[in-house]
Amino acid sequence: MVQIITGAEMAEAAKAARKRKPGRPPKAAAGMAAVNDMPPTDELVTMYRDMLLIRRFEEKAGQLYGMGQIGGFCHLYIGQEAVVVGLQSVSKPGDTVVTSYRDHGHMLACGMEADGVMAELTGREGGYSRGKGGSMHMFSREKNFFGGHGIVGAQVPIGCGLAFSHKYREEANVCMTYLGDGAVNQGQVYESFNMAALWDLPCLFVIENNQYGMGTAVTRAAAGRSLADRGAAYGIPGKQVDGMDVLAVRTAGAEALAHCRAGKGPFILEMKTYRYRGHSMSDPAKYRTREEVDAMRKQHDPIDQLRDVLMKQDMTEAALKTIDSDVKAIVTNATEFAQTSPEPDPSELYTDILKPLTGGATSVEV
Amino acid sequence: MAVEIKMPALSPTMEEGSLTKWLVDEGADVRSGDVIAEIETDKATMEVEALDDGRIGRILVAAGSENVKVNTTIAMLLEEGESADDLATDLANDMVVATSAAVSEVPEAPESPESPESAASPVAGASGTAAVEAATTGAELEKPVAEPVASGNTAPLTVREALRDAMAEEMRGDDRVFVMGEEVAEYQGAYKVTQGLLAEFGPKRVIDTPITEQGFAGLGVGAAFGDLRPVVEFMTFNFAMQAIDQIINSAAKTLYMSGGQMGCPIVFRGPNGAASRVAAQHSQCYASWYAHCPGLKVVSPWSAADAKGLLKAAIRDPNPVIFLENEVMYGQSFEVPDDDDWVVPIGRANIVREGSDVTITAFSIMVGRALEAADKLAEQGISAEVIDLRTIRPLDIDTIVNSVKKTSRLVTCEEGFPFAGVGSEIAMQVMEQAFDWLDAPIARVTGKDVPMPYAANLEKLALPQIEDIVATVVASCEGFRGD
């Protein structure tokens, strides 16, 4: 039984939140994990490690971008780690994941190798897409990660299609379809909500509300009370969750996934989260104050919060330090790999445009 | 070891910027993510964050410095256990190296110690001659399989029935195949193409969708990623414009963007082109739109036999296929081989009439008009060879070029607009491959370059008619005949 934040702290945080419009941090009270849901220590450690890996990976990606080794667009996930790590911790084998372009964290959480992700960022042969997709377009069939999509909202009907394929094959799996607070205003999201509800598709819509769609605060772009309500007209249940608290995410995720798995149709989780960095690397982030970012970091950082939990469970500094060094080593190795993996061969320009007809029973050979 | 903090690039195009302000002093402890400095480019002011925990050992570029090149070391960060004194030695050593380098390379000495990686990406060299060679055909180099040999027995079938039979046969053979679209199930198809499928396969595999083209096209793409074989019907291809982002960005490009991992085995089918008196928003040919994009196959049959055989091939194809039908053709009957498994390979044109004076290419409904034109031309002593393209992409250019080498004249026919149309592409490729064989300029017969009008007389004027084909062919032959 561990209490993460005291009542006084919560009250203070809530007060601070009211002052910090429009970039409000999540309601501290809303997402606190029920204490009886506390997972065993080894699972907490895994989540800590997974979040730390994303954090360190993204910091390194930012650094490599600054050095000109990563090109194009690069959207970092720093600050939002609890969302994907918490949900993956309660997923089942065979569940599928699809998201938009802020996707590095999702790939790592799905178990994709840091080497291959980083090498894709540097546009090398060793990347998951052999250097042909880049930051926004990576996939792993093996890890059930279906992208990595560059068009805001386009991944939502695709996620419904993956959920459709689970239902069609009568598998007890769910597609976790991630979208941002920017995407929730796209028409195709509602086309998707409608079909998902109509056909009871096992689709968990995870709205990562990081408060800003590029430079526009969610309050300036989205009408209505909460994004969790956006499925109300279709009868899709929705819930707001403190997306900075990995335990709250885990609890809510388990409940929502159980709903989808039971054949009750889709579910919406609005994860109130926050990205510390700009929308992409070239975003000066002048639409919010430094104080707002600092307050989120200091009071709600997902990694610090879980660290506190672990310390209260008699985890030693030394043990945490070991995790830290292990994670650092993975990122260092990934960087080394991404810098030394060769550029794709020029002949790769013309591969993978169309699949060859592979003969087999159904193909015509005369 | 101390970590170098470098002047970051904030965008792919940034080469230098000003270091306007330091927010920390030497000796300050920083945590990863703390803002330590502000930099400015002509576009924006940005904050520089520490990328690691540590102590600022030395600031190397003073606040107020302008034109600081990207990747210049601006400060040194000490890790745990290091002191600024260690740094002094390191830096001194670096200075010696830097100085000697500068001496030996005086003419090119950079103003600031730049990392060699900061130069433009070396990728640029990739566009060599080898790459250019395959520019137009690229992935289409793979030769389609040979024409099927029919048993000889045929039965008359409308195009509508042929399409329905193709879907039904493929659904019987592969339980991953399902059909979805507006009114395809209970209503039996807006144009009755899916008639009877619901009764045989049930609502799990014959699915009425809401009127949400972008949504169900995207859902189909996701289902194809999930290893099903969707056949998505658009009530007409005019409405597929609502879904074109999913067709191009999601279906066509994902195989490439995933380095070959993904693939999207899906068929988008429905009537394309002008129907009758439905005006501009419901009368347009999309063949050249979809054929423009690598990653799609585009099929547009004329006869019922090809409609059946090509739709079966499309459903079995591991790639996204755009299958363009024609409403006016649905009720027309053709002899269709009654073989158990009649499949026509994608990527092969068909010479539907042999001739020696001129080659006419056409697809879909224009094939019938081209054949009628050929009859009229024969009365005038002109022998026209008519090629039914059947597949727009991959285009069977070999069949066209071989024909042109025989006839030395080419007229292309299509219902679509002339600008950047299918005919434009054929003309270009024939010029590239058979320029020396041409005795006359290649001519096009197309829809007029106007939105489709409603009035009966204007609509007729806007659409390519048999007389237009005859006149264009005659003009192509006149004055160029050797006699």
Give the 3-state DSSP-derived string for chain B, with helices as H, strands as E and coil as C.
CCEEEECCCCCCCCCEEEEEEECCCCCCEECCCCEEEEEECCCCEEEEECCCCEEEEEECCCCCEEEEECCCEEEEEECCCCCHHHHHHHHHHHHHHHHHHHHHCHHHCCCCCCCHHHCCCHHHHHCCHHHHHCCCCHHHHCCCCCCCCCCCCEEEEEHHHHHHHHHHHHHHHCCCEEEEECCCCCCCCCCCCCCCHHHHHCCCCEEECCCCHHHHHHHHHHHHHCCCEEEEECCCHHHHHHHHHHHHHHHHCHHHHCCCCCCCCCEEEEECECCCCCCHHHCECCHHHHHCCCCCEEECCCCHHHHHHHHHHHHHCCCCEEEEECHHHCCCEEEEECCCCCCCCCCCCEEEECCCCEEEEECCHHHHHHHHHHHHHHHCCCCEEEEECCEEECCCHHHHHHHHHHHCCEEEECCCCCCCCHHHHHHHHHHHHHHHHCCCCCEEECCCCCCCCCCHHHHHHHCCCHHHHHHHHHHHHCCCCCC
* C-alpha dihedral, B380 to B383 to B387 to B388, nearest 10°: 40
DSSP-assigned beta bridge partners for residue A242: A272
**Lookup: tokens for B475:** 């003009």
Nearest by CB: A139 against B174, B226, B261: B261
Q: Give CA angle at A88 (A106, A45), nearest 5°.
A: 105
**Amino acid letter at B119?**
A
**Lookup: tokens for A120:** 């894709």
Residue A174: is its pLDDT beyond 90?
A: yes
Distance CA B332, CA A117 (A): 54
Whole-angstrom CA distances from B320 to B31, B62, B135, B295 are: 49, 57, 21, 7
Confidence of residue B142 (pLDDT cuts 50, 70, 90): low
Query: Which of these ranges, A18-32, B2-16, B200-214, has the smallest mean pLDDT?
Result: A18-32
The reply to whether omega before B394 is within 30° of 0 (cis) is yes
- Closest chain A residue to B129, measured at CA: A346
Cβ contact, residue pair A165, B222, below 8 Å: yes
Q: Which residues of A58-88 are buried (b: 16+ CB within 10 A; e: fewer)?
A: bbbbbbbbbbbbbbebbbbbbbbbbbbbbbb
Query: Which of these ranges, B64-73, B352-361, B381-390, B468-477, has the smallest mean pLDDT?
Result: B64-73
- Closest chain A residue to B122, measured at CA: A343
Q: Does A233 touch chain B (CB under 8 A)?
A: no
Q: Does A150 touch chain B (CB under 8 A)?
A: yes
Distance CA B429, CA B417 (A): 19
Q: What are the pLDDT digits (tens) for A2-16?
A: 333 344 444 454 444
Report the complex ipTM. Answer: 0.87
Chain A stretch 249-308, residues whose beta carbon is closer than 8 A to a beta carbon of chain B: 276-277, 281-282, 284-286, 290, 297
Distance (Å) from the C-alpha of residue B213 to the closest C-alpha of chain A? 9
Answer whether A231's CB lies under 8 Å from A268's CB: yes
Greatest extent of chain B over all pairs of C-alpha atoms, in Å: 100
Q: What are the pLDDT digits (tens) for B81-93?
A: 777 776 655 554 5
Find, among B271, B230, B270, the residue nearest to B250 by Cα.
B230
Give helix B304-316 / helix B159-173 axis angle, nearest 10°.
30
Cβ contact, residue pair B223, A151, below 8 Å: no
Distance (Å) from the C-alpha of residue A1 to the closest C-alpha of chain B? 31
Q: How far is CA B293 from the centre of its chain?
A: 2
Distance (Å) from the C-alpha of residue B294 to the closest C-alpha of chain A? 7
Q: What is the pLDDT of residue A361?
A: 33
Distance CA B204, CA B1 (A): 63
Confidence of residue B380 (pLDDT cuts 50, 70, 90): very high
**Lookup: tokens for B88:** 């002094």
Residue A127: is its pLDDT beyond 60?
A: yes
Q: Chain A contacts of B33, Cβ < 8 Å? A: 59, 78, 276, 297
Burial zone of A263 (CB within 10 Å; 0-12 exposed, 13-18 middle, 19+ buried): exposed
> Which residues lie below 8 Å from residue A178, measured CB to CB, with a gap of 6+?
A84, A97, A98, A99, A100, A106, A155, A206, A208
Residue A289: is its pLDDT beyond 50?
A: yes
Q: Chain A contacts of B32, Cβ < 8 Å? A: 59
> Which residues lie below 8 Å from residue B252, measured CB to CB, with a gap of 6+?
B264, B293, B294, B295, B296, B320
Answer whether B343's CB lies under 8 Å from B312's CB: yes
As a whole number, mean pLDDT of residues B112-118 equals 40
Distance (Å) from the C-alpha of residue A268 to the closest C-alpha of chain B? 18
Q: What pTM, to 2 d.p., does this model score? A: 0.84
As a whole number, mean pLDDT of residues A86-113 equals 98
Q: Strand B267-271 to strand B229-233: parallel, antiparallel, or no bridges (unpaired)? A: parallel
Distance CA B221, CA B251 (A): 6
> Which residues lie below 8 Å from residue B467, measured CB to CB, with a gap of 6+?
none
Q: What are the pLDDT digits (tens) for A17-75?
A: 444 444 444 443 444 444 456 899 999 999 999 999 999 999 999 999 999 999 999 99
Answer whether B347's CB lies under 8 Å from B399's CB: no
**Lookup: tokens for A63:** 């650094």
Residue A364: is its pLDDT beyond 50?
A: no
Sign of CA dihedral B302, B303, B306, B308: positive
Cβ contact, residue pair A161, B223, below 8 Å: yes
Q: Chain B contacts of A68, Cβ < 8 Å? A: 9, 70-71, 117-118, 121
Averaging pLDDT over each range in B25-29, B96-100, B454-458, which range is the top one? Answer: B454-458
Confidence of residue B71 (pLDDT cuts 50, 70, 90): confident
Query: Which of these ranges, A30-44, A189-203, A233-247, B293-307, has the smallest mean pLDDT?
Result: A30-44
Find, among B216, B219, B236, the residue nearest to B228 by Cα.
B219
Nearest by CB: A282 against B10, B35, B260: B10
Residue A116: is its pLDDT beyond 70?
A: yes
Active site residues of B: 213, 282
Answer whether B221's CB lies under 8 Å from B191's CB: no
Cβ contact, residue pair A357, B145, below 8 Å: yes
Q: How far is CA B96 from the centre of its chain?
A: 55
Q: Give CA angle at A135 (A133, A137), nearest 5°.
A: 40
Cβ contact, residue pair B51, A355, below 8 Å: no
Nearest by CB: B134 against A62, A150, A350: A350
Cβ contact, residue pair A161, B131, below 8 Å: no
Give helix B365-379 / helix B466-477 axis angle, nearest 10°.
50
Q: What is the pLDDT of residue B110?
A: 39
Q: Does A349 touch chain B (CB under 8 A)?
A: yes
As a whole number, mean pLDDT of residues B397-422 equals 98
Distance (Å) from the C-alpha of residue B184 to the closest C-alpha of chain A? 16
Q: What is the pLDDT of residue B91?
A: 52
Cβ contact, residue pair A352, B128, below 8 Å: no
Find, among A51, A5, A2, A1, the residue nearest to A28 by Cα.
A5
As a whole number, mean pLDDT of residues A334-345 equals 98
Q: Does A362 touch chain B (CB under 8 A)?
A: yes
Confidence of residue B53 (pLDDT cuts 50, 70, 90): confident
Q: Does A144 touch chain B (CB under 8 A)?
A: no
Sign of CA dihedral B207, B213, B214, B220: positive
Cβ contact, residue pair A168, B204, below 8 Å: yes
As a whole number, mean pLDDT of residues B372-392 equals 98
Q: Chain B contacts of A355, Cβ < 8 Å? A: 255, 263, 318-319
